[in-house]
């Protein structure tokens, strides 16, 4: 298997993650997002098909977007003298694994790769958190990968199409 920047790919192998919006983003929209500097997409493929893909873009977590209790919890991770109104983040814009490969640990492997990449590339631009607006069905997957919800459980209703979560990248550094 190999992970490739979509911009370096001439043709796309078949892909089906079971969700038509996520399938279509890869085939119809991802190149446009990259051209317009809106999100970069990376594709994991084997000889026959696309195994999974993700897209990344810059983000921030700000005081105004979190309930007060969760904002206080997040800020506790940061030394008092560095308390700000918002903190830099990178967002996982899209994330999907082929139905043929789901449940085999590939999603967690890719998430871990993104986290490691953001740490090794931190010399370019600082980024404290990794964020995602997850489909409700995928929240458990992100929580297994140590993401924390940015919404109180009591506020989660069936009308919500996505649930915001974050991961604190600081836990991956040694200093």
Residue ranges binding ligand COA (CB under 6 A): 17-19, 22, 95-97, 102-108, 132, 134-135, 137-138, 140-141, 144
For residues 63 and 100, which CB has a smaller minimum distance to ligand COA in the complex?
Answer: 100
Is there a contact between 33 and 143 (Cβ–Cβ < 8 Å)? no
| Residue 76 to residue 84: CA distance in whole angstroms | 12
CB of 81 vs ligand COA, minimal distance in Å: 35
CB of 44 vs ligand COA, minimal distance in Å: 10
For residues 56 and 134, which CB has a smaller minimum distance to ligand COA in the complex?
Answer: 134
Is there a contact between 57 and 91 (Cβ–Cβ < 8 Å)? yes
Q: What are phi and psi of 107, to 5 degrees?
A: -60, -45
What residue is closest to ligand COA based on CB?
A: 107
For residues 43 and 97, which CB has a smaller minimum distance to ligand COA in the complex?
Answer: 97
For residues 5 and 143, which CB has a smaller minimum distance to ligand COA in the complex?
Answer: 143
CB of 174 vs ligand COA, minimal distance in Å: 26
CB of 41 vs ligand COA, minimal distance in Å: 14
For residues 81 and 137, which CB has a smaller minimum distance to ligand COA in the complex?
Answer: 137
CB of 3 vs ligand COA, minimal distance in Å: 14
According to DSSP, the residues that pair with 56 across neighbouring strands are: 40, 92
- 68 by DSSP, 3-state: which? helix
Cβ-Cβ contacts under 8 Å for 17 (sequence gap 6 or more): 23, 52, 96, 97, 98, 99, 102
Cβ-Cβ contacts under 8 Å for 32 (sequence gap 6 or more): none
């Amino acid at each position: 298997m190999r992970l490739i920047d979509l911009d370096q790919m001439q043709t796309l192998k078949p892909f089906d993650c079971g969700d038509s919006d996520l399938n279509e983003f890869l085939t119809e929209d991802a190149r446009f997002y990259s051209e317009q500097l809106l999100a970069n997409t990376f594709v994991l493929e084997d000889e026959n098909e696309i195994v999974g893909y993700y897209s990344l873009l810059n983000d921030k977590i700000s005081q105004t977007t979190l309930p007060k209790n969760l904002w206080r919890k997040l800020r506790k991770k940061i030394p008092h003298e560095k308390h700000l109104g918002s903190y830099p983040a990178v967002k996982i814009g899209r994330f999907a694994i082929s139905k043929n490969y789901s449940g085999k640990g590939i999603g967690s492997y890719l998430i871990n790769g993104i986290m490691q990449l953001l740490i090794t590339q931190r010399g370019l631009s600082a980024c404290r958190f990794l964020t995602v607006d997850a489909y409700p069905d995928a929240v458990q997957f992100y929580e297994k990968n140590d993401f924390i919800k940015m919404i109180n459980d009591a506020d989660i209703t069936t009308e919500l199409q996505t649930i915001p979560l974050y991961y604190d990248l600081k836990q991956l550094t040694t200093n």
